[in-house]
A = this chain, B = another copy of it.
Amino acid sequence: MAKGAVMNKLERSQLLEDYNSLKQAEASLPARWYFEDAHYRRELAEIWRKNWIYVCRARDLGDALSYRTVEIGDQNLVVLRDGTGALKAFHNTCRHRGSILCAKRQGRLKSKLIVCPYHQWSYAVNNGRLVKTTSFAEPIGFEKSDYPLFRLAIEEWRGLIFINLDRNATWDAGKLFEREASNLANHPIEEMVTVHEWRKIMDCNWKTFWENFNECLHCPNVHPELSDLVPMYRRRIVDPRDVPGWQDRIGEDDPRYRGGLRTGGETWSMDGSAQGQVIASLTPEDLARGQTYASALPSMFVGGYADHVRIVRLLPLSAERTELVAEWLVTEQAATAEDYDVSQIVDFAILVMEQDLAACELNQRGLHAAPLEHGVLMPEEYHVKNFHNWVRRQLPDDDE
């Protein structure tokens, strides 16, 4: 609706109600959920072993027989391509006496068999079936068919690999993203090239990270550089429609109200320039947004920008430690352009992420206060509320 369009009174009053933010104060999750070990173990079982978890990009995995291992909490898993190149995933555990099968972070199988390094039991890479033991005979009561690898569900979404420790989990790409991904349609994620990876251990609970991700109330003070680039963030909101009266500003070009980057800004980089590598398939609407996010709880989000995509994965290490891995993707053209400096986009995102991590770690430390039962959500934190609802749905019987 363009600015100035005629509305009757009723329409306008409905629209006034029609803004994103929370109208009611909402209790945050119980503080103890962020540090108690018993609750952490429950979340591993109910959340991390039942949802789709991002592993890596399919093209970074390598070709047939390449593998990667990943640890989700205390579960060591192996993701690989079988002999035909199809994706498969298993618990990285031999059925004989429980050894790890693939010891390295990434590598390549020597054949279509996964061979345990301990006693050389061999499993078919395509389905995990036990093909061969190394004993002179099979004992009575032993059937190889009873000892396949523990298989995981594995799926691919636009070149991103997701696994689910619940092998019978249903795959519905439409429900994969809690903050949905349709706005990323014009980013050619599948074909882009990974040009950098950054790994960091955060001293905070994984939920503390997501809460930070899901609001911009903290932006002006925590992210001064980012708030220069995205002027609306100085208003502590993430969408023009977050506040009542937003309709009155429709059509304004002031980036504080229309969203998007500062005048002249093209992308999330140190100087705001896309270095001539704006992705050709992006529409004016895509570019106007400045940044486009989709998040697949509990493990990842994707950010789309004018010249690149950034994927951030997080995995829990313990109740108060979380691993973060960020990947930067650019087009083949940018990746090979002599005058495209990747550090422009890498340095800027690391600057912002380090600021977020420091905030998350402060948040984590304060959650232990004995009289603190839970925090409270403010209007702008409606995405945080959605996240909390999502968490609560996974833990139906947990007493708060």
**Chain A residues near B (Cβ < 8 Å):** 21-26, 28, 31, 34, 45, 49, 74-76, 91-101, 103, 117-120, 133-142, 147, 150, 165, 211, 217-218, 220-222, 235-237, 243-244, 359, 362-363, 365-372, 375-380
Contact = CB atoms under 8 A, between A and B. Distances in A.
Given A141-B24, A141-B25, A375 B97 contact: yes
B75 A139 contact: no
**Total identical chains:** 3
Contacts of A96: 375-376, 378
A178 to B, nearest CB: 19
A370 B108 CA distance: 25
Given A135-B217, A139-B25, A362-B100, A74 B165 contact: no
Contacts of A244: 137
A97 B135 contact: no
Contacts of A136: 21, 235-237, 243, 379-380
A93 to B, nearest CB: 4
B140 A367 contact: no
Interface centre among A91, A120, A362 (most CB of B within 10 A): A362
A339 B320 CA distance: 52
A99 B363 contact: yes
A236 B211 CA distance: 54
A354 to B, nearest CB: 14
B150 A371 contact: yes
A324 to B, nearest CB: 18
Nearest to A74: B368
Contact of A98 (B22, B369, B380): B369
A173 to B, nearest CB: 26
A99 B117 CA distance: 47
A369 B31 CA distance: 29
Contacts of A370: 45, 49, 75, 91, 165
Contacts of A103: 362
Given A76-B369, A96-B378, A119-B217, 8 more contacts: A25-B138, A31-B98, A91-B369, A118-B222, A119-B218, A135-B379, A137-B379, A139-B379
Nearest to A117: B362
A132 to B, nearest CB: 12
Contact of A135 (B139, B142, B380): B380
A265 to B, nearest CB: 24
A150 B100 contact: no
A123 to B, nearest CB: 13
Nearest to A137: B379
Contacts of A365: 76, 100
3 A-B pairs closest in CB distance:
A25-B142, A93-B369, A97-B375
Contact of A95 (B98, B119, B243, B376): B376
A372 B150 contact: yes
A140 B28 CA distance: 15
A366 B100 contact: yes
B91 A372 contact: yes
Nearest to A359: B118
B139 A97 contact: no
8 contacts: A26-B139, A92-B369, A93-B367, A96-B375, A117-B362, A119-B217, A119-B218, A135-B380
A152 to B, nearest CB: 10
